[in-house]
Amino acid sequence: TTGISGNGSQLTSLPSGLTLLSTLTTTSGTSNTTATLNLTTYKTLQIYVYNVGNTSGTQRLQFTPNGGSVSTGGNSMPSSVQSSYQMITFDLASGVYGYGNFPTSRTLTAGTGAGQGGAGVNTGLTTSTTTIMFDWSGGATFDIGSIKIYGLK
């Protein structure tokens, strides 16, 4: 644009970067729940699922906020020798979320290929949510991976 000068210090109300709110190590148990969260100042959650798998395969990873209902992200794991990589973007005002899911080998070092994307709504996940639980649709035990939850103001 034209007519703009200065160093940008006069700009206000710019969004800050992502803030890491919780890290879950998903190497054991049938569910993993965040520590207490304070989402009151956040507009969006960005959830990264990295190499998360279970002992049984053929189950969907799902999340449940306190006060909310279960939501699934992505397709079922084809087998227990595969794991899931996902990115989930969640709007705290509307409850709308979108995800991209890439189930693949547990030893992925780089890759592209068949994945799945989708969307959903969970109006129970809001700025007043204090915990989010992750588990499998069939009650399997986690055995690999991690989940990181970031907030955007």
Distance CA 57, CA 19 (A): 32
No. of helices (H) and no. of strands (E), the chain? 0, 10
Q: How far is CA 39 from CA 18, 33, 65, 97, in A?
A: 13, 15, 12, 16
Quick: pLDDT tens for 116-132.
788 889 999 999 999 99
**Nearest C-alpha neighbor of 56 from the set 119, 138, 153, 129:** 138
Q: Kindly report the pTM of this predicted structure.
A: 0.82
Asked whether the beta carbons of 86 and 49 are under 8 A apart, the reply is: yes
Average pLDDT, the chain: 83
Quick: pLDDT tens for 11-54.
455 455 889 999 999 999 999 999 999 999 999 999 999 989 88
The pLDDT value recorded for residue 1 is 45
Distance CA 83, CA 144 (A): 8
Asked whether the beta carbons of 149 and 21 are under 8 A apart, the reply is: yes
Distance CA 103, CA 93 (A): 29
